[in-house]
Amino acid sequence: MQNNDPWIGVSTLSLYPRTLSRALEIAQQLDFGIQLVPSTLWREQDLRDLKNLEDTTGRRIVMSYEGDWRMPTLLGIMQKAIQNLDPLALLAPMIFGSRTHVSRALAQVQSLFPQALGVDQGPWSLMEVSPVNSNAKEDYLEHKPGVVLDTLHAREFSELEPSGLVSSLVAAGQIKLIHFQTRSREELDAFIAGGGEDVDRLLRHALLGCNKVIIEVPPQFLGIRHPQVKLREIADAIRRCVD
């Protein structure tokens, strides 16, 4: 373990439909970093303001960034919404905007925040451990930039046992970032309460190899009015996993 106190951040998508500036305010209230995900609510000036804030305070705020997860077809979007019980999947085109918008936003992020970790942006970036990317353990062990261990997607493999996979990745020093997700609101609440054994065990193991954690739960899990409350509870539970 690199540090007993993990560096915790939140995905801007978890705070949708708030603007980037409002998401940043919430993250700062909690002393969190952030993961940037392009949205139609972004303004280019917001990114420049964020860069100025980093420069002024001398503190890194942007931990990582990734692109949109929209499916290429309407059928794909509907299947994702049904399989993941995630109604936001149906709104993907409205959330992310055009592919041109996403590409332009990501290019600006890469230019302004070169130290941030790119996720699934190409062979030079981190690869998320997910059946969508590969079902072969060797692909994750041999990916030179390293991988993102997602506490939900790592449990979706049909042939790879999660604990064994994480053990191999920790031993190889491959985990550079952790995405914290749960299968359901019920599993999230159980984890906060000290249960949720599957996600708790996986996270404890992953934290042996990486101290950077992005909370990436759906916004509806956090509540509409005061997401800070649930985010603080999640962060406390994550820190408990390194005690």
pLDDT at 91: 73
pLDDT band of 129, cuts 50, 70, 90: very high
User: Encoding tokens for residue 134?
Assistant: 């590969």
pLDDT (average), residues 2-26? 90
CA separation, residue 156 to residues 159, 163, 230 (Å): 9, 12, 25
195-220 pLDDT, tens digit each: 888 999 999 999 999 999 999 999 99
In the predicted model, is pLDDT for residue 3 greater than 80? no
Pick the CATH number of 7-240 from 3.20.20, 3.90.320, 3.30.70, 2.20.25: 3.20.20
Q: Cα–chain-centroid distance for residue 31?
A: 17
Whether 76 shows a pLDDT value over 80: the answer reads no
CA–CA distance from 84 to each of 68, 78, 89, 145, 213 (Å)? 16, 10, 9, 28, 22
- Half-sphere CA count of 186, side-chain side, radius 13 A: 1
What is the average pLDDT across 118-127?
A: 96
Q: Are the C-beta atoms of 152 and 178 separated by less than 8 Å?
A: no
pTM: 0.91
Mean pLDDT, all residues of the chain: 89
Q: How far apart are the C-alpha atoms of 188 and 241, rounded to whole Å?
A: 14
